């Protein structure tokens, strides 16, 4: 469709054409429409600047790292703080209070960006009326949207007073931004890693320039506008879609229960909330708050090779049409189906089919910020509340300003049964404890800084993530008395140090990042020299995005291979992170391995040193050096329905059974033995001894089905038999009572040797004779039969498949790294065989049943 309304525009609405204009070599962004109007507020800020404005380039280079994965990690606690304020407010207002969803979510998003970006609290949840800045912003956005729909002379003559009011609001908003900057300059916070400090103190490495005070003002206004408007709209749409689709809401809530339970939400929970993430993405598809973005050709061109387009013509992407293109989304494109956004499906979409965050270099740099904030909020709300529409007959109404959002959308929030007022709310740390910890940390860092570097860290990356990881590693190494230097990877060229060397690197479309090009080229030229790096010990960590599947982690793997080829010795195997799923989980695991390898090169611990040397160390100092003990969790291996466990027929059993492995091994120091703390403690208890313990509720889903006739499939290895024994003891008690007929049950149990560690042997075989369960064994050191649980499952796949089709549930307990992974793979393989599908589709199936029919308890 071609329009000429002042500026000639061509509106595109299908994936084929929008995919073409996403080519940044041929097209560039042109802020148009309402974006032009709000330049009075945001000027040449990132959102509304033109490509020709140099401030955009400087700000982009400085601020992209400020929204990278490491920076977002530091913002997690502040985001959790603001969402906690919101859920407590909802809870205290009671289940009959009607919540104006868009209003409270706007307060949430506005408070969050203010605190995370500028360490400024607007305190929106502590006042009845919106903060003056928020109201001024709403008025400016509304009037800016109206101005672009009216002819210029009408704005100049008929709506002159409206424009004066708009400019007054802009002035007041700029004054507040300036005041925040002035306060920070008067009271510097050098330890603060927020966006404001980045803008005030950072220098662009390419030009040597800083951001001007004017541009900082524009950037602050930009982030306050873009950081709250789209997020609040998306959250409103997501809650609306969940409430209109109760079965989807139930799935989302079950995932929160499975991942978080009643615990305080933590950063490592977020990558596991895959279904919530899919709900957000699907809501963005159905109703994107940003309805369009525009580009212009860099030169005269032809779309699809046949539609001539001049250089100055705006090409407008109609996101509503794109996100409902039936050739991409099917005939059910108007339906809310988060499953299509689960990763296995999302990756199969044609390129540029889903574009709510814009495109390429000019896409929203706050995408990760918004996604993290929204996941936190939805998780906290679903953990605590049962939601319902205030008006069950409500149909979606839209309000349009800079974005679109639901209008008159009200909900009620009822606290779920069994949930306390403070469930999921993070507790505080006493100030004196926090201060003591900080002082100890500073002393360790100071001690490390006083000596020469014992390890070198080199980073290569364009967005700041690898450099931030390098800083994180240096801090962790200092905690272990290891001092490290940091430099860009290009400085390693021709100067590989004679000490442990850590390389943290990314790829950029399969090529080295800008600050690693020289090193990679040099390494490629010299790696053929035999034993050229023989004396070097190194470790490589790679960061990448699975969006670039064909070049995923290419450069880190190349560097690792070339250094090994040149004779260098790996300290630990290469570590890899995918920023699209979980950057920090693999990173933390890899750092632990690296530090352990470095420390184990001496094999010494503080107790070893005290035993072998004469050091006058106060006992209190020794205790401070020890890592804090954390509670060890064991699954109860018995049922309260078994009469011998509950002779008085109380609501809870008098006797519980535990199943655990007593861990012993040679000490790393080479002297004596190492004994597992908790297992050794329990093994040393005698009849009549008291045990320090507490009982926690298990995973909501890890319980026998409500109906005893439901088929039960169990996978267990080693002490993972514990909950399965409890299940079987309960089923045996029900069978003995004779009141109800049991459904079929099968147990796949793996251990090493049938004569040495076949635990609960007599009971399991007895229950099998009674018809309670079929037991299938796998002995890794046995002479016959399958060696591992996954092998046994495959041999009995016909039976397992039939039980599952008949409504059966799968329960798994064992090692996350071994049994959980291998059992999942064989189950996907069985599903593929039965359904004629691919492994990618099998992964989607597995994810879809994990909330209620494939339940794991792993360690």
Q: Are residues 210 and 256 in the same domain?
A: yes
The CATH number assigned to the domain holding 442 equals 3.40.50.360
Domain assignment of residue 682, yes or no: no
Sign of CA dihedral 49, 52, 55, 57: positive
Domain assignment of residue 848, yes or no: yes
Q: Tokens 């059966």 correspond to what residue?
A: 808
Cα gap 56→470, rounded to integer Å: 27
Domain assignment of residue 620, yes or no: no
Q: Are residues 243 and 95 in the same domain?
A: yes
**651: buried, middle or exposed (CB in 10 Å: 19+, 13-18, 0-12)?**
exposed
Q: Are 782 and 754 in contact (CB under 8 A)?
A: yes
For residue 834, give its domain range.
712-858
Domain assignment of residue 684, yes or no: no
Q: Is the pLDDT of residue 337 over 80?
A: yes
Above pLDDT 90, what percent of the chain? 52
Cα gap 842→828, rounded to integer Å: 5
Q: Given pLDDT bands bounded at 50, 70 and 90, which one contains residue 446? A: very low
Q: Are 226 and 366 in contact (CB under 8 A)?
A: yes
Q: Are 774 and 740 in contact (CB under 8 A)?
A: no
Per-residue pLDDT, 644: 84
Q: Is the pLDDT of residue 151 over 80?
A: no
Identify the domain boundary among 575, 600, 625.
600
Above pLDDT 70, what percent of the chain? 93
Q: Are 316 and 294 in contact (CB under 8 A)?
A: yes
Sign of CA dihedral 602, 603, 609, 612: negative
DSSP strand pairing (7-12 vs 2-5) = antiparallel
Per-residue pLDDT, 190: 86
Number of domains in the chain: 3
Single out the residue of 401, 404, 323 nearest to residue 35, CA to CA: 401
- DSSP assignment, residue 159? T
List phi, psi (to 5°) of 688.
95, -15
Q: Are residues 398 and 435 in the same domain?
A: no
Q: How far is CA 854 from CA 337, 435, 650, in A?
A: 21, 45, 31
Cα gap 235→411, rounded to integer Å: 13
- Considering only residues 514 and 807, tell me which one the structure prediction assigns the higher pLDDT: 807
Q: How many CB atoms lie within 10 A of CB 233?
A: 28
The kind and range of the H/E element at 743 are none
Q: Between the ranges 183-192, 394-403, 406-415, 756-765, where is the mean pLDDT highest?
A: 406-415
The CATH number assigned to the domain holding 847 equals 3.40.50.80
3-class secondary structure, 559: helix
Structure tokens at 245: 């689709």
Q: Are 326 and 335 in contact (CB under 8 A)?
A: no
Domain assignment of residue 627, yes or no: no
Single out the residue of 556, 508, 514 nearest to residue 205, CA to CA: 514
Q: Given pLDDT bands bounded at 50, 70 and 90, which one contains residue 448? A: very low
| Spatial strand order in the sheet of 314-318 | 2-5, 7-12, 314-318, 292-297, 27-29
Q: Are residues 408 and 463 in the same domain?
A: no
Cα gap 829→835, rounded to integer Å: 10
Q: Tokens 């100890």 correspond to what residue?
A: 440
Single out the residue of 64, 61, 193, 188 nearest to residue 475, CA to CA: 193
Q: Are residues 410 and 476 in the same domain?
A: no
Q: Given pLDDT bands bounded at 50, 70 and 90, which one contains residue 599? A: confident
Q: Are residues 396 and 465 in the same domain?
A: no
Q: Tokens 């290895």 correspond to what residue?
A: 717
Q: Given pLDDT bands bounded at 50, 70 and 90, which one contains residue 753? A: confident
List phi, psi (to 5°) of 756.
-115, -40
Identify the domain boundary among 600, 634, 669.
600
Q: Average of pLDDT values for 678-686?
A: 89
pLDDT digits (tens, 9 = 90+) for 452-501: 557 899 999 877 889 889 988 998 888 877 889 999 999 998 888 878 99
Q: Is the pLDDT of residue 429 over 80?
A: no
Per-residue pLDDT, 444: 39
Domain assignment of residue 630, yes or no: no
Q: Given pLDDT bands bounded at 50, 70 and 90, which one contains residue 445? A: very low
Q: Are residues 404 and 512 in the same domain?
A: no
Whether the predicted model's global pTM rises above the 0.85 cut: no
* Positions marked catalytic: 230, 357, 364
**285: buried, middle or exposed (CB in 10 Å: 19+, 13-18, 0-12)?**
buried
The greatest distance separating any two alpha carbons of the chain, rounded to the nearest whole angstrom, comes to 95
Structure tokens at 557: 């793997």
Q: Are residues 446 and 409 in the same domain?
A: no
Single out the residue of 346, 111, 136, 397 nearest to residue 847, CA to CA: 346
Mean pLDDT, the chain, rounded, equals 87
Per-residue pLDDT, 2: 54
Q: Give the E-state strand segments of 705-801 in sequence order.
A: 712-717, 745-751, 774-779
Q: Are 344 and 80 in contact (CB under 8 A)?
A: no
Q: How many CB atoms lie within 10 A of CB 2?
A: 9
Identify the domain boundary among 600, 629, 650.
600
Cα gap 184→172, rounded to integer Å: 19
pLDDT digits (tens, 9 = 90+) for 78-117: 999 999 999 999 999 999 999 999 999 999 999 999 999 9
For residues 484-501, one letter each, b for 16 or more C-beta atoms within 10 angstroms of the residue's C-beta and e for the rest, the string is bebebbbebbeebeeebb
Q: Average of pLDDT values for 68-75?
A: 87
Q: Are residues 435 and 325 in the same domain?
A: no
For residues 108-124, one letter each, b for 16 or more C-beta atoms within 10 angstroms of the residue's C-beta and e for the rest, the string is bbbbbbbbbbbbbebeb
Single out the residue of 370, 250, 789 nearest to residue 797, CA to CA: 789
Q: Are residues 390 and 493 in the same domain?
A: no
**14: buried, middle or exposed (CB in 10 Å: 19+, 13-18, 0-12)?**
middle
pLDDT digits (tens, 9 = 90+) for 700-709: 678 899 899 9
The CATH number assigned to the domain holding 348 equals 1.10.630.10
Separate counts of helices (H) and strands (E) for the chain: 31, 25
List phi, psi (to 5°) of 69.
-60, -40
Domain assignment of residue 661, yes or no: no
Cα gap 106→130, rounded to integer Å: 10
Sign of CA dihedral 103, 105, 111, 113: negative
Q: Are residues 205 and 288 in the same domain?
A: yes
- Considering only residues 315 and 433, tell me which one the structure prediction assigns the higher pLDDT: 315
pLDDT digits (tens, 9 = 90+) for 606-659: 776 777 667 778 888 888 777 777 788 888 999 988 888 877 777 676 788 999
pLDDT digits (tens, 9 = 90+) for 490-547: 999 888 887 899 999 998 767 888 889 999 999 988 877 777 888 899 999 999 887 6
Cα gap 53→36, rounded to integer Å: 14
Domain assignment of residue 466, yes or no: yes
Q: Are residues 440 and 587 in the same domain?
A: yes
């Amino acid at each position: 469709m071609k329009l000429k309304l002042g500026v000639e525009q061509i509106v595109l609405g299908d994936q084929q054409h929008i995919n073409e204009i996403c080519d940044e070599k041929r097209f560039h962004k042109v802020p148009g429409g309402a974006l032009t109007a709000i330049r009075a507020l945001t000027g040449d800020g990132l959102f509304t600047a033109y490509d020709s404005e140099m401030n955009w380039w400087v700000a982009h280079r400085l601020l992209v790292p400020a929204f990278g994965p490491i920076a977002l990690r530091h913002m997690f606690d502040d985001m959790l703080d603001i969402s906690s304020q919101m859920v407590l407010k909802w809870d205290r207002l009671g289940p009959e209070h009607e919540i104006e969803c868009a209003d409270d979510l706007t307060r949430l998003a506005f408070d969050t960006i203010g605190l995370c970006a500028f360490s400024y609290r607007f305190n929106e949840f502590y006042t009845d009326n919106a903060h003056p800045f928020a109201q001024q912003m709403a008025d400016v956005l509304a009037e800016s949207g109206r101005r672009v729909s009216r002819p210029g002379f009408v704005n100049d003559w008929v709506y002159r007073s409206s424009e004066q009011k708009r400019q007054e609001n802009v002035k007041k908003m700029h004054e507040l931004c300036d005041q925040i900057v002035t306060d920070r300059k008067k009271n510097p916070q050098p330890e603060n890693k927020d966006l404001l400090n980045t803008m005030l103190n950072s220098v662009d490495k390419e030009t040597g320039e800083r951001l001007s005070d004017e541009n900082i003002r524009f950037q602050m206004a930009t982030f306050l506008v873009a950081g709250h408007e789209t997020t609040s709209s998306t959250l409103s749409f997501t809650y609306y879609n969940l409430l209109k689709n109760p079965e989807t809401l139930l799935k989302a809530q079950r995932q929160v229960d499975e991942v978080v339970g009643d615990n305080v939400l933590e950063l490592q929970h977020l990558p596991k909330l895959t279904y919530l993430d899919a709900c957000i993405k699907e809501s963005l598809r159905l109703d994107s708050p940003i309805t369009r973005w525009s580009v212009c050709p860099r030169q005269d061109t032809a779309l699809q090779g046949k539609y001539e387009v001049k250089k100055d013509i705006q090409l407008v992407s109609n996101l509503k049409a794109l996100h409902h293109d039936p050739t991409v989304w099917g005939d059910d494109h108007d339906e809310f189906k988060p499953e299509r956004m689960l990763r296995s499906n999302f990756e199969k979409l044609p390129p540029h089919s889903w574009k709510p965050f814009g495109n390429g270099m000019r896409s929203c740099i706050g995408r990760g910020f918004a996604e993290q904030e929204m996941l936190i909020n939805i998780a906290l709300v679903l953990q605590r509340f049962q939601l319902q529409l205030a008006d069950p007959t409500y149909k979606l109404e839209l309000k349009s300003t800079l974005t679109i959002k639901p209008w008159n959308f009200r909900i009620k929030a009822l606290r779920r049964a069994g949930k306390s007022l403070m469930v999921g709310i993070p507790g505080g740390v006493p100030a004196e404890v926090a201060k003591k910890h900080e002082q100890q940390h500073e002393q360790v860092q100071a001690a490390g800084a006083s000596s020469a570097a014992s390890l070198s860290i080199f980073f290569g990356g364009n967005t700041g993530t690898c450099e931030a990881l390098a800083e994180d590693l240096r801090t962790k190494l200092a905690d272990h008395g290891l001092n490290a230097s940091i430099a860009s990877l290009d400085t390693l060229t021709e100067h590989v140090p004679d000490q442990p060397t850590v390389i943290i690197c990314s790829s950029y479309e399969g090529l080295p990042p800008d600050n690693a090009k020289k090193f990679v080229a040099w390494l490629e030229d010299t790696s053929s020299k035999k034993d050229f790096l023989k004396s070097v010990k190194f470790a490589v960590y790679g960061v990448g995005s699975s969006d670039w599947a064909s070049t995923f982690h290419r450069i880190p793997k190349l560097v690792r291979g070339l250094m090994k080829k040149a004779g260098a010795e790996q300290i630990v195997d290469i570590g890899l992170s995918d920023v699209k799923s979980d950057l920090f989980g693999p990173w933390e695991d890899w750092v632990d391995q690296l530090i352990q390898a470095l420390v184990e090169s001496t094999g010494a611990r503080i107790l070893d040193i005290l035993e072998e040397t004469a050091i006058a160390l106060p006992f209190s100092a020794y205790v401070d050096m020890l890592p804090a003990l954390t509670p060890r969790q064991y699954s109860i291996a018995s049922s309260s329905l078994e009469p011998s466990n509950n002779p008085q027929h109380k609501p809870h059993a008098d006797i519980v059974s535990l199943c655990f492995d007593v861990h012993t091994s040679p000490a790393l120091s080479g002297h004596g033995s190492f004994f597992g703390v908790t297992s050794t403690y329990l093994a040393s208890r005698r009849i009549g001894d008291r045990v320090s313990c507490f009982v926690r509720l298990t995973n909501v889903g890890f319980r026998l089905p409500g109906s005893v006739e439901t088929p039960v499939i169990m996978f267990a290895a080693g002490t993972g038999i514990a909950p399965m024994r409890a299940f079987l003891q309960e089923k045996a008690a029900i069978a003995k009572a004779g009141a109800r007929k049991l459904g079929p049950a099968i147990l796949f149990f793996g251990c090493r040797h049938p004569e040495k560690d076949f635990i609960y042997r007599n009971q399991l075989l007895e229950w099998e004779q009674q018809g309670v369960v079929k037991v299938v064994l796998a002995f890794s050191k046995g002479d016959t039969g399958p060696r591992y649980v996954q092998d046994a499952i495959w041999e009995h796949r016909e039976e397992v498949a039939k039980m599952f089709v008949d409504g059966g549930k799968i329960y798994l307990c064992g090692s996350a790294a071994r049994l959980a992974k291998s059992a999942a793979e064989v189950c996907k393989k069985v599903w593929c065989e039965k359904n004629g599908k691919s492994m990618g589709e099998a992964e989607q199936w597995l994810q879809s049943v994990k909330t209620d029919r494939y339940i794991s308890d792993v360690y």
